[in-house]
Amino acid sequence: MTAHEVSLYNTRTRRKEAFVPIKPKEVKIYTCGPTVYSPQHIGNMRPYMFADLLRRTFLLKGFSVFHVTNITDVGHLTDDGDSGDDKMEVAAKKSGRKAEEIADEYTAQWLEDRRLLNCVDPDVLCKATDHIAEQVALCQKLESKGYTYRISDGIYFDISKFPGYANFAKLDLLKEGEGRIKDVSGKRHYADFALWKFAEKGVARQQEWDSPWGRGFPGWHLECSAMSWRYLGERFDIHTGGVDHIKIHHTNEIAQSEAAFGVNPWVSYWMHNEFLDFRGKKMSKSLGNICVLRDLIDAGFHPLSYRYFFLQAHYRKQQTFTDEAMAAADKGYRRLRAVTEGLAGCESDSSEEGVEKIVQRFYAAVYDDLNAPQVLALAGEVVRKSGLSDSARRYLVELIDSWLGLNLLSPLSQELGKESDPRIDDLVQRREAARQEKNFSEADRIRDLLMDEGVTIEDTPDGSTWHRFK
């Protein structure tokens, strides 16, 4: 086992820190999941590929990992200031369908996209609507400790009772809230947030429940604290999500959780991924400029080419998506896999000289705050390194891909149509002959020549076959 320690950037402290778990060799992780009122676009998928890398990191390190992700199917209002309608209710009214049907449809789409992107399923996938009792219990706990007040539309958390409210996001509460205190009549401070919203009289809602305060539904922020409490306890190691959650959602989670449980910190490490910039704009459902994974597949891209695209940038760096960048990622992924899949039939050998140095470079990059671009570059270096045998490459590719999650040793050719071209057939045969004669430099030269023409070669026990890639 490598001696490298895991170093992670902690939003709470604004610096990279050595990871120290609450319990030795165990890590508990909570990831903010999707609000399932509409399709999840490719920008929405970035947090889950990032969380997947985090999970794989700790598995490499030999940790026991317990990962919880939520599904928001109630309580997420259209305005962060606690005004507006519930997004699920809006979608139901607009479509004439049941909110539950909409949630099920888009949850299924999200889960399928996760699997296409090789994201390992969380240990617990919990829906807000299945945990109303836990949310009511948490609100009662806060009420009993004097952190809440009641106004006409709901039960609110009083941030004046929690002096450290602004610390996590480094908020200037005087500047950030200009005009927003009027969003909800009766709020004492614009940043006070809803824990439980009352059902409006005369307004038909599909999602509401009885509570000690009357008929209503939970606020968005309450669900994550309640469900993490249910499955991870009053303190846990890591909470992940997008940078857009820092100022409001995660700030509110911290306030209500630390107030309820009397702990500080509630979460040891907060980790946030940056946005995906879509053709020069932030991708947004409200802007109508969304692109879903199925759109990329229908355009001829392999779904894992999008994971490859994601891996080209660090999770804390904003990444720009363009058609050209996606096409380049698809080509790069297919070129890499065209070489690596041919290693699947080789024996795995870690004893060869030079292998250990590459292994240590791999661990150093992974454990340095999940440096995916360095690991991806290392994978390319391994397959090009002429001084390594196929057995050594096989060992290294398998190790590296256990983290990258690109299926590098699987046969891509099974997903592509077969073609025929006498000139290419001849080159493939000449390459096979060079391999038999152990003239690997000539074999590599022919392989690279064909790659430049968009041709991938698969080496099998029955000989070599070729296919064109995009």
pLDDT over threshold 80, residue 458: no
Sheet bearing 124-127, strands edge to edge: 124-127, 64-71, 26-31, 236-242, 267-273
Amino acid letter, residue 320 = T
For residue 432, is pLDDT > 60?
yes
pLDDT at 180 over 60: no
Q: What is the mean pLDDT of residues 211-228?
A: 95
The helix (run of H) or strand (run of E) holding residue 220 is helix 220-232
Residue 231 to residues 28, 34, 65, 137, 155, Cα–Cα distance (Å):
9, 18, 13, 15, 25
Which one is predicted more confidently, 280 or 171?
Answer: 171
Which residues lie below 8 Å from residue 161, measured CB to CB, with a gap of 6+?
A: 146, 147, 259
**Rounded CA gap, 320 and 287, in Å?**
17
pLDDT at 153 over 60: yes
Query: According to the model, what pLDDT value does residue 50 have?
Result: 98
Q: What is the pTM of this model?
A: 0.85
Stretch 136-154: mean pLDDT, rounded? 97
Mean pLDDT computed over 301-317: 97
In percent, how much of the chain has pLDDT > 70?
91
The pLDDT mean for the chain works out to: 90
Within 8 A by CB and 6+ apart from 433, the residues are: none
Terminal Cα-to-Cα distance of the chain (whole angstroms) = 39
Tracing tokens 């292994």 back to the chain, one arrives at: 359
Give residue 391's pLDDT. Answer: 94
Tokens (6 digits) for 363: 């661990």
The CA distances from residue 210 to 76, 133, 213, 344, 363, in Å, are 18, 10, 8, 58, 52
Selection from 39, 189, 176 nearest residue 103 by Cα? 39
Distance of CA 110 to the CA centre of its chain: 11
CB 12 within 8 A of CB 168: yes
340, burial (CB in 10 Å: exposed 0-12, middle 13-18, buried 19+): buried
Structure-token pair, residue 340: 């690596």
Q: Which residues are bridge partners to 218 per DSSP? A: 196
Q: Are strands 154-157 and 148-151 parallel, antiparallel or unpaired?
A: antiparallel
Q: Mind giving me the DSSP string for 372-411?
A: HHHHHHHHHHHHH-TTS-HHHHHHHHHHHHHHH---TTS-
pLDDT in tens, 109-129: 999 999 999 999 999 999 999
Q: Which two tokens stand for residue 436?
A: 């038999």
Range 230-242 burial, b when 16+ CB lie within 10 A, else e: bbbeebbbbbbbb
Mean pLDDT score, 245-259: 97
Do 51 and 15 contact (CB within 8 A), yes or no?
no
Name the band, by pLDDT with cuts 50, 70 and 90, for residue 1.
very low
Integer angstrom CA distances of residue 379 from 234, 286, 333, 365: 40, 38, 11, 12
**pLDDT classification of 201: cutoffs 50, 70, 90:** confident
Mean pLDDT over residues 231-248, rounded? 97
> Concatenated DSSP letters for 297-358?
HHTT--HHHHHHHHHTS-TTS-EEE-HHHHHHHHHHHHHHHHHHGGGTTSPP---STTHHHH
| Mean pLDDT across 289-310 | 92
Element (H, E) at 238: strand 236-242
Enter the DSSP assignment of 161.
G
Rounded Cα distance, 396 and 355, in Å: 8
Q: Which two tokens stand for residue 382?
A: 């391994």
Q: Which among 411, 388, 408 is positioned nearest to 400, based on CA atoms?
A: 408
SS3 268: strand
